[in-house]
Structure 1
Amino acid sequence: MKTSPKTYSVEFLSKPLTDVLLVATVVFTASLFGILSRPVGFLAAIWPANAILLAMMVRNPRLSTLTNWLAAFVAFIAADLITGNNFDISLRLTIANIVGAVVGYQLFMRLAPEDRELSRPISIVCLLAISVLAAASAAAVGAGAALMLFERSLIVGFTSWFTTELVNMLIILPPILTWQGIPDWLRGRRHYTFFEALPVISLVVLTLCSQIIGGPGAFAYPIPALIWCALSYSLFTTATLTLCFSVIQIIALVHGFQYVTLRDDPLAANISLRIAIALIALGPLAVASVNAAREELLERLNHAATFDSLTGALSRGTFLERAEAMLINANGSVAVLMLDVDHFKSINDRYGHFVGDQVLAQVGNAAMKATRPGDLFGRLGGEEFAAILPGVSEEEALAVAERIRLAIESVRVRHPDGAIVSTSASLGLSLKSPGNTESFLNLLSRADDALYLAKERGRNCIEIKLAA
């Protein structure tokens, strides 16, 4: 029997190929940058390739395939060979780089997703621990290559590799792991005032002062500005500013722009200062993380106080406060609407409170969708809701109320035993004409009277009570 030749989807093949090219290109480019930063006689001053590779895999675990790791391996070797290293040394250096990235990836993937995004204060401690272990793993493998390449002792090779890798991970990983898309200020949606930009300005000024004044402690001058930035900006922005600060300090350290040697062994002093820079970078990250957690908690508390957790409508207090303010500022006529779910107690008694809560949630959602964009809708308590409709005539207010009534009438909730639970609502309206000084509480009271009239007249209907 003749069989047709196998065909493969272009889409199926293109995605893995795109991933391979992406990983290889990023690693190759980052490696070339690191090699070009290498001082004569030792390892690279800044080696971003390992941290970038690790962050790519952690941010998108789909990339963590054997093929993509091999692509990174080849890219490391290719960058080294192009810049003059022999294959044996390139192979040893590459194995060390891959080992560090793999160890870091395995450890990061054991964390909760929020810790991988550094969104909790404890995440910064996890970042430090993982960076230490990954850097130590890479250094343990790469120390021998450093001995061959630069004729240094194993201890010096390990220490220098470890400190270089540690500082690179601590300054490069955070901006990538906390990236949430293009910031609003880059999109032109957010413009900072001069006072909002002061933390960045102070960081620039103090960094310049550290370069001009010099001395062994000059790298610490911008620390207050970094803390100010951490208290003022997002975690991503703080991480990016910390990266810029650290890169400037490392370049100054390597090229001797500002520092004096504290020991007879300049290499030992450089290693010590590298560790100091790495640990300084943790400070603003920790502050920004704590500040972000605090702001998130305040936002949750504010949301809980503002909105009803079951229905999503405004809470009673917030609705009454905003409705009062809306009435005071309204120029035209204003309508107040109250609604009550019909026979809700019998729904709870027959089907249980779980189904009753579902009914309330869907009623609230359906009613909110039926209101207009400028209207306020809130839950007063139990099965009772209210709305304030600014700028409406009597006919328009009745039309909105009818739309709400029909939306609630269409609500259907399925009971676990298969029964379909439906409901309806009675609605009451009151109207305030322009120039009327009636208070909001009086309007609400009239709407409540109209609501009870609707119940007396058979429910699932709308009644309106005009001012006397």
Structure 2
Amino acid sequence: MTSPKASSTSTWTAACALGGMVFAAAWLGIWGRPIGFLSAIWPANALLLGLLLHKPEWVRPGSAVGVAIGYISADLITGSRPEVAVLLSLANMAGVGAAWALMHKQAGATLFMQRQSSALLLFIGAGLGALTSAAIGGPVLTASFNTPPLQAFSMWFGGEWLNYMIFLPMILGWPTRKLRGPASDQLHPLLRAMPVLAVIALELISYWLGGPGALAFSLPALLWCALSYRIFTLTVITAALCLSKMAAISLGEFDFTPAHFLETVSFRMGLSMLVLGPLAVAGSHMARTELMRQLRHAVNHDFLTDMLARGAFLKQGQRILERCRHDHQSVAIFMLDLDHFKQVNDRYGHAGGDQLLRSFSHTLTQVLRGQDIVGRMGGEEFAVVLPHVDSKTALEIAERINQATRELRVPSGDKIITATVSIGLVHIAKPGEHQDLGMLLQHADQALYDAKAAGRDRVEARLW
């Protein structure tokens, strides 16, 4: 149970962290805004929403106070009137709150840009946040800057939506969890850089040609990036692309003020749509990659013990044997069989037998080395390949398996299951060309038979 003092400290930590982040991001946005109107780049709301989605435990009244102070302070030190600062802060916080309420209950993989529906959730959540804040902030703009109501609402809505689409994906896709990268991670650096170089090249061509279609020139290269890079890398690329387009447009054709109302709204909405496509492709590709990984794991592993299935064990074991032969290294093969396993099933039921198999498999993984592989060959029989091991170490490992199995205590209802294991061991100091894994397993199986004939719960070895 968390103590009141610890809870208070956590609340203050969250309030200070969120308030400080909001102040810095809001000040940056205000500093770069066009004279007499809202900021074109406003990262504060997206950063706040992303942090709260990563850390929902920070959603507390104290945090709301810290955030409000951060927003209002940034406005006041840059010359806003107090009442305007308060109302604009209320609009920003309401938008973040609405988006958070919609998004935070979604599954983690969907929320953090790892599923096919992630881009759609992002797009809808950003739209809801922008709509909510614009509904409150639009009238404030009308009163503060004498902007017509429709223009005020549209400018806020389009700008807020685009800012969410630029910054929020980076926060949600931040690599806080270990994810498998795409196959391109193993490519030569120049080949790996080709998709992003294509984005740069198409962007330069779009600036040279110009015209209304130039906004979408980089889309093919962005889709290539979506299929080639991790999701976080893609979000950095899309954010950089959006910011560069906004900078180029503001320096050339128009600035982001009501004087260019229709152009601004159209540009912002088009840019938001441009970001959506690559993110959707990346999420779908990641979901497919994860599904294929799970399928391969299911095919290659025993469903009960999660050890390698027989076929996968034979393939991997043969590769290890050939590598040891090539490197002139020794190798050991174990065949293991739980003693009197049929009696366990008869006495404790198949559920008890299954639990014993799972516990024994866990014991094996604890005793064996990281480079060793183990497979379930069928029923209560297992096999192990140990590369680069001398005969003494192989015997010691086998004895440790025996001892760890004797110490197993597996609960089954109100009873405790115990077990022993017999092991047949074959050690080859220098594997020869004529020795394959199938033949060595047969010799290990014969040694296992001898161990059972000699009284079980022991190791019988063949040292070559």
Fold match by TM threshold 0.5 = yes
Q: How far is 1:288 from its partner?
A: 0.7
> What is residue 233 of structure 1 aligned with on the other side?
229
Task: Check the 8 A contact 1:449/1:465 in 2, yes or no.
Answer: no
Amino acid paired to 2:223:
I
Question: Structure 1: how far apart are the matches of 2:162 and 2:62?
Answer: 28
Query: Which residue in the other structure is 2:316 paired with?
Result: 322
Question: Distance between the aligned counterparts of 1:465 and 1:120, measured in 2?
Answer: 52
Q: 1:115, 1:18 → 2: CA distance? A: 28
Aligned partner of 1:218 in structure 2 is 214
Q: Is the 1:216–1:258 Cα contact (8 Å) retained in structure 2?
A: no
CA contact (8 A) 1:211 1:258 kept: no
Query: Structure 1: how far apart are the matches of 2:397 and 2:73?
Result: 69
1:300-311 alignment runs, 5 A limit = 300-311=294-305
Q: Distance in 1 between matches of 2:336 and 2:419?
A: 13
Structure 1 gap segments, 5+ residues each: 1-7
Structure 1 letter corresponding to 2:357: L
1:435/1:457 CA distance change after superposition, 3 Å:
closer
Judging changes above 3 Å, is the alpha-carbon distance between structure 1 residues 57 and 383 closer, same or farther for their aligned structure 2 residues?
A: same
Q: Residue type matched to 1:252 in 2?
A: A
The answer to whether the 8 A contact 1:48-1:168 is kept is yes
Paired with 2:280 and 2:108, the residues of 1 have a C-alpha distance of 18
Q: Paired residue for 1:3?
A: none
Aligned counterpart for 1:171 among listed residues 166, 189, 197: 166
Check if 1:387 corresponds to 2:375.
no
Could you tell me how far apart the structure 2 residues matched to 1:12 and 1:245 are? Answer: 42
- Partners in 2 of 1:376 and 1:111 — Cα distance? 38
Q: In the alignment, which residue of structure 2 is the partner of 1:25?
A: 20
Which residue is 1:207 aligned to? 203
Report the Cα distance in structure 2 between the residues aligned to 1:165 and 1:391, rounded to whole angstroms: 60
- Partner in structure 1 of residue 246 of structure 2: 250
Alpha-carbon deviation of 1:344?
Answer: 1.1
Question: C-alpha displacement at 1:183, in angstroms?
Answer: 9.9
Quote the residue 1:52 is aligned against: 47
Amino acid of the structure 2 residue aligned with 1:269: E
Going from structure 1 to structure 2, the CA distance change for 1:91 and 1:439 (only over 3 Å counts) comes to: closer
Matched-pair contact (CA < 8 Å) for 2:373–2:386: yes
Give the 3-state SS of the residue equivalent to 2:426 in structure 1: strand
> Paired residue for 1:156, among 151, 157, 164?
151
SS at match of 1:429: strand
User: What is the CA–CA distance in structure 1 between the aligned matches of 2:172 and 2:86, rounded to whole Å?
Assistant: 29
Partner of 1:451: 448
The CA deviation at 1:376 is 2.5
Tell me how far apart the structure 2 counterparts of residues 201 and 320 of structure 1 sit (CA, whole Å): 43
Per the alignment, do residues 427 and 92 of structure 1 end up closer, same or farther by CA in structure 2, a change over 3 Å counting?
same
Does the Cα contact within 8 Å between 1:316 and 1:379 map onto a contact in 2?
Answer: yes
Structure 1 residue 103: Cα displacement: 0.9
What SS class does the counterpart of residue 411 from structure 1 fall into?
coil
User: In 2 relative to 1, CA 96–302 (structure 1 residues): closer, same or farther, beyond 3 Å?
Assistant: same
CA shift for structure 1 position 453: 2.1
Whole-Å separation in 2 of the counterparts to 1:334 and 1:452? 21
How much has 1:157 moved relative to structure 2?
0.9
Q: CA separation of 1:75/1:376 partners in 2, compared to 1, >3 Å: closer, same or farther?
A: closer
Give a deviation string over 1:270-315, Cα, whole Å, max 9, x none.
Answer: 1111100011110110011011111111221222233333323222
Pairing partner for 1:342 from 329, 339, 342: 339
The aligned counterpart of 1:278 is 272
What's the secondary structure of 1:387's corresponding residue?
Answer: strand
**Is the CA contact 1:432–1:443 (under 8 Å) kept in the aligned structure 2?**
no
Give unmatched runs, 5+ long, in structure 2: 180-184
The Cα offsets for residues 156-201 of structure 1, whole Å up to 9 and x where unpaired, read as 11111111111111221111011124999xxxx9996110011122
Please give the secondary structure, in 2, of the residue aligned with 1:352: helix
- Shifted more, 96-105 versus 322-331: the winner is 322-331
Higher relative contact order (CA 8 A, sep 6+): 2
State the alpha-carbon separation in 2 of the partners of residues 435 and 252 from structure 1: 66
Contact 2:34 2:255 in 1 (8 A): no
Partner of 1:420: 416
Report the Cα distance in structure 1 between the residues aligned to 2:32 and 2:89, rounded to whole angstroms. 17
| Fraction of identical pairs, as percent | 36
Cα 1:148–1:327 change in 2 (3 A) is same
**Structure 2 match to 1:195:** 191
Letter in 2 for 1:439: D
- Which residue identity lines up with residue 55 of structure 1 in the other structure? G
> Do the aligned partners of residues 213 and 149 (structure 1) sit closer, same or farther apart at CA in structure 2, a change above 3 Å counting?
farther
Give the partner amino acid of 1:30.
A
Distance apart, 1:458 and its partner CA = 1.9
Give the C-alpha shift of residue 258 in structure 1: 5.4
Q: Number of paired residues?
A: 452
SS in 1 for 2:114: coil
Q: CA deviation at 1:435?
A: 5.9
81, 85, 89: which one aligns with 2:76: 81
1:378 aligned partner:
375
Contact 1:242 1:281 in 2 (8 A): yes
| CA displacement at 1:87 relative to structure 2 | 1.5
* Cα distance change, pair 258–292 in 1 and its aligned pair in 2 (3 A): farther
The counterpart of 2:141, out of the listed 132, 137, 146, is 146
Give the conservation status (yes or no) of the 8 Å contact 2:25–2:43: yes
Distance 1:108 1:41 in 2: 34
Does 328-337 or 345-354 show the bigger shift? Answer: 328-337
SS at match of 1:217: helix
Name the amino acid aligned to 1:85: S
Distance 1:395 1:138, change over 3 A: closer
Are the aligned partners of 2:166 and 2:239 in contact in 1 as well (CA < 8 Å)?
yes
Q: Which region of structure 1 is more displaced relative to structure 2, 343-352 or 323-332?
A: 323-332
Partner of residue 123, structure 1 = 118
Relative to the length of structure 2, the TM-score reads: 0.90
Q: Which one-letter code corresponds to 1:204 in the other structure?
A: I
* Secondary structure of 1:378's aligned partner: strand
Q: Give the conservation status (yes or no) of the 8 Å contact 2:54–2:172.
A: yes
Kindly indicate whether residue 409 of structure 2 is the aligned counterpart of residue 409 of structure 1: no
- Helix, strand or coil for the counterpart of 1:423? coil
CA displacement at 1:9 relative to structure 2: 8.6
Which of 1, 21, 34 is matched with 2:29 structurally? Answer: 34
Query: TM-score, length-normalised on structure 1?
Result: 0.90
Say whether residues 1:97 and 2:92 are aligned partners: yes
